[in-house]
Structure 1
Amino acid sequence: MLKDNQLLKNLKIATKLNILLIAISVIIVLLSGGFLSLILSHNAEKVVTDKALVLMETMSAVRNYTSTKVNPELASRLETDNQFLPQTVPAYSAREVFEYFREQGGYKDFFYKEATLNPTNLRDKADQFETEIVETFRKDSNLKQTSGFRSFNSGDIFYIARPINVSKESCLRCHSTPDVAPKSLLVTYGKDNGFGWKLHEVVGIQMILVPANKILETAKKLQISVTSILVVCLLFAIILINFFLKFTVTTPLKKMAQLAQRISTGDLSQEFEHPFDDEMGMLAASLNRMKVSLEIAMDMLNSEAE
Structure 2
Amino acid sequence: MLKNLKIGSKFNLILMLVFLVSIFVSGIALSRVLDQKAQNEVTSQAQILIKTMNSVRSYTQNHINTLLAARLETEPAFIPETVPAYSATEVFENLRKNAEYQNFLYKEATLNPTNLRDKADDFEAKIVGRFRQDSKIQEISGFRDFPDGKVFYIARPLAIKQQNCLQCHSTPDRAPKSLLASYGTDNGFGWQLNDIVAAQIISVPSEDVFASANRTWNLIMGLLVAIFAIVVLLINFLIKKTVIQRIRKIEKVAQQVSTGDMSADFAEKSHDEIGGLAAAFNRMKASLEIAMNLLNQQNQ
Task: Provide the residue aligned with 1:111 in structure 2.
Answer: 105
Task: Provide the residue aligned with 2:154 in structure 1.
Answer: 160
Task: Give CA deviations for 1:284-304 in whole Å, capped at 9, x if unaligned.
Answer: 111111111111112112222
Shifted more, 118-127 versus 31-40: the winner is 31-40
Q: TM-score, normalised by structure 2?
A: 0.98
Task: Provide the residue aligned with 2:122 in structure 1.
Answer: 128
Offset, 1:115: 0.4
Structure 2 CA distance for aligned equivalents of residues 155 and 279 of structure 1: 64
Q: What secondary structure sits across from 1:200 in the alignment?
A: coil
Task: Provide the residue aligned with 1:3 in structure 2.
Answer: none
Offset, 1:22: 0.9
Structure 1 CA distance for aligned equivalents of residues 123 and 253 of structure 2: 81
Superposed counterparts of 1:190-205, under 5 Å:
190-205=184-199
Structure 1 CA distance for aligned equivalents of residues 272 and 125 of structure 2: 75
RMSD of equivalent CA atoms: 1.0
- Count residues in correspondence: 300
Task: Provide the residue aligned with 1:240 in structure 2.
Answer: 234
Q: What secondary structure sits across from 1:14 in the alignment?
A: helix
Which amino acid in 1 is paired with 2:126?
A: E
Q: What secondary structure sits across from 2:137 in the alignment?
A: coil
Q: What secondary structure sits across from 1:106 in the alignment?
A: helix
Task: Give CA deviations for 1:272-293 in whole Å, capped at 9, x if unaligned.
Answer: 1222211111111111111111
Task: Provide the residue aligned with 1:269 in structure 2.
Answer: 263
Structure 2 CA distance for aligned equivalents of residues 149 and 187 of structure 1: 39
Which amino acid in 2 is paired with 1:201?
A: D
Task: Provide the residue aligned with 2:50 in structure 1.
Answer: 56
Offset, 1:8: 2.4
Task: Provide the residue aligned with 1:85 in structure 2.
Answer: 79
Task: Provide the residue aligned with 1:11 in structure 2.
Answer: 5
Offset, 1:107: 0.8
Task: Give CA deviations for 1:87-116 in whole Å, capped at 9, x if unaligned.
Answer: 110000000011111111311001110100
Task: Give CA deviations for 1:22-43 in whole Å, capped at 9, x if unaligned.
Answer: 1111111111111111111111
Offset, 1:136: 1.0
Structure 2 CA distance for aligned equivalents of residues 115 and 62 of structure 1: 17
Task: Provide the residue aligned with 1:20 in structure 2.
Answer: 14
Q: Which runs of 5+ in 2 are unaligned?
A: none
Q: What secondary structure sits across from 1:274 in the alignment?
A: coil
User: Which of 203, 208, 227 does residue 202 from structure 2 map onto?
Assistant: 208
Task: Provide the residue aligned with 1:4 in structure 2.
Answer: none
Task: Provide the residue aligned with 1:303 in structure 2.
Answer: 297
Offset, 1:231: 1.1
User: Which of 36, 53, 61 does residue 67 from structure 1 map onto?
Assistant: 61
Structure 1 CA distance for aligned equivalents of residues 198 and 219 of structure 2: 43
Which amino acid in 2 is paired with 1:254?
A: R
User: Which of 168, 179, 189 does residue 174 from structure 1 map onto?
Assistant: 168
Task: Provide the residue aligned with 1:42 in structure 2.
Answer: 36
Task: Give CA deviations for 1:105-153 in whole Å, capped at 9, x if unaligned.
Answer: 3110011101000000000000111111111111121221121111112
Offset, 1:265: 0.9
Structure 1 CA distance for aligned equivalents of residues 236 and 17 of structure 2: 15
Task: Provide the residue aligned with 1:291 in structure 2.
Answer: 285
Percent identical: 50
Task: Give CA deviations for 1:37-84 in whole Å, capped at 9, x if unaligned.
Answer: 111111111111111111101100000111011011111111111111
Q: What secondary structure sits across from 2:36 in the alignment?
A: helix
Q: Which contiguous aligned blocks of 4+ residues in structure 1 show a shift greater than 4 angstroms?
A: none
Q: TM-score, normalised by structure 1?
A: 0.96
Offset, 1:159: 0.6
Q: What secondary structure sits across from 2:173 in the alignment?
A: coil
Structure 1 CA distance for aligned equivalents of residues 245 and 160 of structure 2: 84
Structure 2 CA distance for aligned equivalents of residues 73 and 255 of structure 1: 99
Task: Give CA deviations for 1:3-26 in whole Å, capped at 9, x if unaligned.
Answer: xxxx32221111111111111111
Structure 1 CA distance for aligned equivalents of residues 56 and 42 of structure 2: 21
Offset, 1:154: 2.1
Which amino acid in 2 is paired with 1:93?
A: S
